[in-house]
Amino acid sequence: MSGPLTGLRVVDLSRVLAGPSMTQIFADLGAEVIKIERPGKGDDTRHWGPPWLKDEDGNDTGEAGYYMSTNRGKYSLTLDVSKPEGAEIVRELVKDADFFVENFKVGGMAKLGLAYDDLKAINPQIIYLSITGFGQTGPDAPQPGYDYLIQARSGLMSVTGHEDGVPGAGPMRAGVATVDLQTGLMGGIGLLAALHHRHMTGKGQYIDLALLDTQIAGTANQGFNHLLSGKVPVRTGMWHPALAPYQPFDTADDQIIIAVGNDSQFANLCRIIGASELVEDERFSTNPARNKNRAVMEDLLTARLKTQKAAHWVDELTKTNVPASTINNIQQAMNDPQVTSRGMILELDHAIGKKTPGLATPLKFSDTGLEFKKAPPMLGEDTDDVLTRLLGKSEAEVAELKAKGVV
């Protein structure tokens, strides 16, 4: 089955993670994504290793796992957009494109003649997305922005890390680039919203998306609770500031997470571990009461949980719909039967002649499929194809562009 975005074309000048993660999803959904990269170097993340993709003889290919994780399904066109001929090829591609995505510094595209107004004059229906650290306006608009920087500035790190007051407490970054990934998802929502608007009006539009804006919105209940109460949220480490029990517990061997979301789940938990008397105890009968008396409750529950191993408790608790899990490392997560049964781990044929892994886009459609048909491309792998098939360039014209260092 063809993907739900089949027939749409993306001209993608984004690099690193936010833009590429989004356009990979679009490729999986069936869109044709033309990834434009600098000749000889390409996307910065091609060089962010180890690990590196190895060939069949075990030698490093120079293709970094970081790059490969967000560029599946795309067509790599090497193009020096700083040269007039290179910028002109971008404009040729835009004539028949639906989306244009870039994450250059503010004003960078205008210097190349590739700003929204420039491309709108060529294709009034183009939907143009700019991703920057701080947006197109405001005092810090010209500044570069990176995920780690935004995690710090947005307040995210202030509520992430060991509980305040314990050894090792302090701000901590998230283990994945959550700001970039959230921004990519917001970008995808924005493009599809603008596509609907175009269906209604026939007009494209410009979208200004900032990492900082995204993560400020992404503080969610923590940010809203501050605005509501005036109090500054603090780090609570492994336990939840509003739900209890919602934290790790020691067992006879390993820790498990128990995430109780309502009173009936708490009652089931107490029954399974042989502590039914706690259900009627006014200190624990409601979530607000449990939250107030969390430390005492933790000690009482831990005493029972330490009588059996983690696997036993996870099995027994999940049978009665009490959310519980072991704390997996990445390898364990990738081998989880639920994960593998959902088709989340991919294998694709790569240009070097071997299978390469991938993590699937998690959407499951009833009437359309996803298209995991093309491994992350080598740098410039599709240059000749894009220039000849899409733009009608002759072999002689392509050779001339190569001789001039344009592609």
Catalytic residues: 180
Distances in Å between the Cα of 188 and the Cα atoms of 89, 262, 377 are 25, 34, 22
Question: Mapping DSSP to helix (H, G, I), strand (E, B) and coil, where does residue 389 land?
Answer: helix
Q: Alpha-carbon distance 160 to 263, whole Å?
A: 27
**And the tokens for 386?**
């894009």
Helices assigned H by DSSP within 15-162: 18-28, 65-68, 84-94, 108-111, 116-122, 147-153
Question: Mapping DSSP to helix (H, G, I), strand (E, B) and coil, where does residue 187 land?
Answer: helix
Nearest to 319 by CA among 280, 276, 265: 265
Nearest to 75 by CA among 400, 378, 368: 378
Distances in Å between the Cα of 60 and the Cα atoms of 25, 50, 55, 355 are 27, 10, 7, 15
**And the tokens for 112?**
């190349």
**And the tokens for 71?**
């560029």
